[in-house]
Structure 1
Amino acid sequence: MKLNLFTRINIGFVLTISFLFSYGQKGAKPNVLFIVADDLRPSIGCYGDLKAITPHIDKLAASSIVFNNAYCQQAVCNPSRASVLTGLRPNQNGVTDLVTHFREKVPDAVTLPQAFKNAGYTTIGIGKIFHGTKQTLDKVSWSISEIENVSVKNQEYFLERNKKGGKADAFEFTEGPDNKYPDGKIAESTIELLRDFKKSGKPFFLATGFKKPHLPFCAPQKYWDMYKHTDFSGIANSNKPLGAPEIAFHQWQELRGYTDIADQGPLTPQKQRDLIHAYYACISYVDVQLGKIIDELDKLGLSDNTIIVLWGDHGYHLGEQDLWCKSTNFELDTRIPLIISAPSVIKKASNTNAVVEAIDIYPTLIDLCGLTKNTALTGKSLKPLLQQPQMKWDQVAYSQFCRPYKAITSKYPTHMGYTVRDQNYRYTLWYNLHNDSIEHRELYDLRKSRLENENLAGTKKYQQEENRLAAMLEAYRHIN
């Protein structure tokens, strides 16, 4: 994909002015390549997934710190991204649904790219960075606001039966080059911009937002074929956790909106296999696009002075716990991949089991690039963990989700579930928002399994742990 003439002239003008502005400043500022993949759970080789074909992400991980226990603040796109990009938790920026723009609640917030723009960087976003709707974009964050999503059309269906408008089949794979689909175009635009930055010498904050592996699972046929000999039969732990309240679940409404998925009832074993196959194929599609970008960064000689952050905005269920997609407080939806490469700081690639949050990304980048902190940030810089991945780290991770399910589009929740994750447990409290009472409690011991299997809340053996975690959640929901 080629950027249009107006956009390229605009970029050239901004880079020229920015270069003159920064000319003569001492020391080369580190660049930032900020990459997010939509609905990407840690089904990646470097996270131990033996089925995933992800050589390019694995190569990046080999020179980075891989965070094994990173968690988002709410497991759906808009709240998660708003939290990362404002440095504020959902209760602080007012974004707990898919339609609210954070500036409705915190109009003076300084976003992550905005902080870099204010520091003299050129900030540009390609693809889906903020939530991908017009009302949730944030033009003030970008040096060139016009090119976020520029020329990246949303056409994902090519089979005639799927061209009726709106949701069609949940997955589709057709022959063609990578740039037939949006993420291939996004990678091409990113590479063009890297070349422009190389010519200008101007420090940049370049955000690339891949749209896969979000539904519908659509990509070139070759990515489906990568897994044609992989066995995707049999979903491990497909039962709901014993004793879990119904409010913790949903009816897979997102998936059921597709024309080849029944409105109710279980999926056939073949449909389950096909959906999982398609999800993994889309991960590999993203992996190859990322590889093209990293290769270009190397060719241009920019790698040594560029910090790379790769993260997923939330996790995902693929039939486990009788759930599909996201939108819960469970481990599979709240846990995300997070990989950070910082050449000037990381002495040896490694991984860390420290519990961290997506909200920590903003203060980490500010810290690594030496920017002045000029806004309130709730997260904590992860720079110490980049330097000493095995150091003692006693933080916990907080997430939340609203109910009923339709509240993510209607703005009118009746309940909010708050959850905390430490090294050993996940504890969740469900509050009735009308009378501020706790209606349901969930406690899961995750020392032997990452999946929640049995709700232990109310048992005498775990009373002390439950009291400790309940106090933490009560304090968390009142932060401001």
Structure 2
Amino acid sequence: MLEKSMNLVRRTGLSAAALFLTALSPSGAAERPNILWLSAEDISPNFGCYGDPHAITPQVDALADEGMRFSHAFTSAGVCAPCRSSIITGMYQNAIGTHHMRCNATMPDWLKPFPLYLREAGYYCTNNSKTDYQFRKPSAATIWNESSSKADWKNRPDGSPFFAVYNFNGCHETGIESKEKYENVSAVLKDSERQDADKLTTLPPYYPDTPVVREDWKRNYELITALDHWVGEHIQKLKDSGLYEDTIIMFWSDHGVGLPRAKRWLYDSGTRIPLVVRIPEKFRVGEQGTPGSVNDALINSTDFGPTVMNLAGLPTPAHMHGQAILGEGLPAAREYVYGARDRMDERYDIIRAVRDKRYRYIRNFEATKPYYQYMNTPEKGATMREIRRLQKTGQLPEAAALFTAAHKPAEELYDLQTDPHEIHNLAEDPKFRAIKARMLEALTAWQRKIGDMGLIPESELERLVKTRGSTYEVLSREAEVLEEMTRAAVLASTGPEAFPELIQLVDSSNPTVRYWVSTGIGNFATEAGKAEQQILGKAVEDEVPAVKIAAARALCRSGKPETGLPVLIDELSSDNQWARLEAAIVLDELDETARPALPALQAALKNQPNKYIVRVANKAVNDLLGTQAVVE
């Protein structure tokens, strides 16, 4: 009956709710699964069921024994908010404008978060209680029947199936960083569930092996065990209510462990997550959910919403990038999964990644920036402080020192089979030339397909959205527009040998292309000649703030701060909040050259529209004054 109804939907365009009305028996008693999401923050697959020798996770392990474990599940970013925006919409964050951490995109009216489809179909949908969707409308109150710390599937009307989400925040990076939070969260542990930091054999090689770092690694394990207790409580609640065999359970994390070179990054350490699903026998399709089974399909977190919809009998909307991984009528398995990094807190770093089952390719669009830019939040962590300390004394082990480099390679390629920690970059190895070309082609095709707007400066996004109606509509989906932007961004990190090609793009009607032209000259400003200087002199008067700021940066770096600094100082008080941030970042990176801007930077410590401007200005001021930067 349901399949016939789905065919009817395809032929007639019936709504999701109408689909369910046609699928119900005359009594209205057709059985539909309840679906429970148990989500965690900031954890990698450090569980017994994933083979971790130190994990104490009996509840999740039992769930995997009764259900299925996905071995190749990944998130679309290495940080929570961009990921959660992609999960709730089924679309990549860099396609809809939610790619920057703590942004507030404007969604087009047609883009509906997937729980709305479930509600139309009669599901009672609750969220307890993290949102982090990065858009104003629709609001959480609209998306869910209830979204709060009191939201509970038990509040549903009699007979209604439920989709319920619960989030555990005890594993968040603050649980590792804060001794108080760590002790509070781990208070549920028995003595036998505690870890001995000295005996942990799984410390990644990109961390220095010191007692300080081992303490953080130990805390990660113990917080995961506390999470495991929480999972057990939710399972028991279902059993006590007699609904365990009526409910599909999905357990997952929003990204990898909350430590340096993991959270915020696109390596496996930042994007590979646990995903365990238990499907009661009456709801299984074929071999799906067979107890103790392992599924090695490539999964992206954009797939979570379409999967829930498919399990509930709903078709995946055509606009979604995700695809169902469970239920009837599955599409062909993915060949690749993708990830994007953009502004993380107060710093920009545009990175894109593609992974198949063996290799990961990374494109660093801002390769002239260091791996570890100074950001307030991660700098508070003990492991990051330890890395900084040992970096100053030259005592970092080789693998850890790689990620303290002042610049990144433009391309990275790793063989996960032989190099699971992604330490040995194969991008320049001739033996892997064909593999790199294949991965780059896949990445480029993905960016074109989804309309990747990450190359557009954030200040320009804010400027354009006022006239385009939504952030999604800022970028034309025409292939030539994306190609020109990508070409300019790649040239900008290539070197002074790319100046002739960059100059050819200087009169582009696309402000983003003009931005990358000035950025590219500024990246290698000491090599700029007369032609490049003339371009900067014109660009510094551009009507678009991002172009002016990039040109001013280049002028300051090429020995003309008297021309560039006034522009940057002026943009510190711009009406565009992201232009203020972009100007502050440039002044911070200019170090001593920015000293004449010190009064303006000090003034920027107050009355700002967002905290990130204050953070960057504070760092710049303290560096110029020779004082210790204040970490919030």
TM-score, structure 1 normalization: 0.70
Decide whether aligned partners of structure 1 residues 460 and 317 sit closer, same or farther in structure 2, where only a CA change above 3 A counts: farther
Show the counterpart of 2:591: none
Shift of 1:362: 1.3
Q: Aligned pair 1:367/2:313, yes or no?
A: no
Shift of 1:475: 1.1
Q: Distance in 1 between matches of 2:231 and 2:193?
A: 19
Q: 2:254 aligns with which of 307, 310, 313?
A: 313
Show the counterpart of 1:171: none
Show the counterpart of 2:101: 98
SS at match of 2:56: coil
Q: Aligned pair 1:221/2:158, yes or no?
A: no
Show the counterpart of 1:118: 120
SS at match of 1:114: helix
SS at match of 1:39: coil
Shift of 1:37: 0.3
Q: Aligned pair 1:330/2:267, yes or no?
A: yes
Instruction: List aligned pairs for 1:258-407, cutoff 5 A.
Output: 269-316=210-257, 323=260, 325-343=262-280, 344-345=283-284, 346=288, 348-349=290-291, 350-374=293-317, 376-383=319-326, 393-402=333-342, 407=343
Decide whether aligned partners of structure 1 residues 109 and 461 sit closer, same or farther in structure 2, where only a CA change above 3 A counts: same
8 A contact 1:74–1:401 mirrored in 2: yes
Q: 1:408 aligns with which of 339, 344, 362?
A: 344
Q: Distance in 1 between matches of 2:135 and 2:149?
A: 10
Instruction: Report the number of matched residues.
Output: 374
Show the counterpart of 2:164: 206
Instruction: List aligned pairs for 1:6-21, cutoff 5 A.
Output: none
Instruction: List aligned pairs for 1:37-52, cutoff 5 A.
Output: 37-52=40-55
Shift of 1:220: 4.0
Instruction: List aligned pairs for 1:21-60, cutoff 5 A.
Output: 24-60=27-63
Q: CA offsets per residue over residues 277-311 of structure 1, 9 Å max, x none?
A: 22111111111111011112122121222111111
Q: CA offsets per residue over residues 49-108 of structure 1, 9 Å max, x none?
A: 121111111111112211011110001000111111100012222111221235x14443
Decide whether aligned partners of structure 1 residues 105 and 224 sit closer, same or farther in structure 2, where only a CA change above 3 A counts: farther
Show the counterpart of 1:68: 71
Q: Distance in 2 between matches of 1:134 and 1:439?
A: 37
Give ranges in structure 2 of 5+ residues lacking alignment: 1-23, 176-181, 369-407, 452-632
Task: State, as a whole percentage, how many aligned pairs show the same letter.
Answer: 26
Instruction: List aligned pairs for 1:435-446, cutoff 5 A.
Output: 440-446=410-416
Q: 2:145 aligns with which of 128, 143, 146?
A: 143
Q: Distance in 2 between matches of 1:132 and 1:461?
A: 42
8 A contact 2:247–2:279 mirrored in 1: yes
8 A contact 1:100–1:136 mirrored in 2: no
Shift of 1:139: 2.3
Letter in 2 for 1:83: S
Decide whether aligned partners of structure 1 residues 229 and 362 sit closer, same or farther in structure 2, where only a CA change above 3 A counts: closer
Q: Distance in 2 between matches of 1:50 and 1:268?
A: 19
Instruction: List aligned pairs for 1:181-192, cutoff 5 A.
Output: none
8 A contact 1:78–1:130 mirrored in 2: yes
Shift of 1:395: 2.1
Shift of 1:432: 4.6
SS at match of 2:436: helix
Decide whether aligned partners of structure 1 residues 234 and 211 sit closer, same or farther in structure 2, where only a CA change above 3 A counts: closer
Instruction: List aligned pairs for 1:160-171, cutoff 5 A.
Output: none
8 A contact 1:77–1:314 mirrored in 2: yes
Decide whether aligned partners of structure 1 residues 236 and 293 sit closer, same or farther in structure 2, where only a CA change above 3 A counts: closer
Q: Distance in 2 between matches of 1:455 and 1:334?
A: 18
Which has more radius of gyration?
2
Shift of 1:463: 0.6
Greater fraction strand: 1
8 A contact 2:124–2:163 mirrored in 1: yes
Q: Distance in 1 between matches of 2:413 and 2:209?
A: 32
Q: CA offsets per residue over residues 162-214 of structure 1, 9 Å max, x none?
A: xxxxxxxxxxxxxxxxxxxxxxxxxxx6xxx34444x7222111111111211
Q: CA offsets per residue over residues 360-395 of structure 1, 9 Å max, x none?
A: 1111111111024446211121126x999xx99452
SS at match of 1:418: strand
8 A contact 1:307–1:340 mirrored in 2: yes
Letter in 2 for 1:316: V
Relative contact order: is structure 1 or structure 2 higher (C-alpha 8 Å, sep ≥ 6)? 1
8 A contact 2:44–2:253 mirrored in 1: yes
Q: 2:426 aligns with which of 448, 452, 456?
A: 456
Give ranges in structure 1 of 5+ residues lacking alignment: 1-21, 151-188, 241-265
8 A contact 1:110–1:375 mirrored in 2: no
8 A contact 1:71–1:358 mirrored in 2: yes
Show the counterpart of 1:82: 85
SS at match of 2:36: strand
Farther-moved stretch of structure 1 (225-234 vs 46-55): 225-234
Q: Distance in 2 between matches of 1:229 and 1:447?
A: 29
Decide whether aligned partners of structure 1 residues 52 and 232 sit closer, same or farther in structure 2, where only a CA change above 3 A counts: farther
Show the counterpart of 1:425: 359
Greater fraction helix: 2
8 A contact 2:195–2:221 mirrored in 1: no
Letter in 2 for 1:298: K
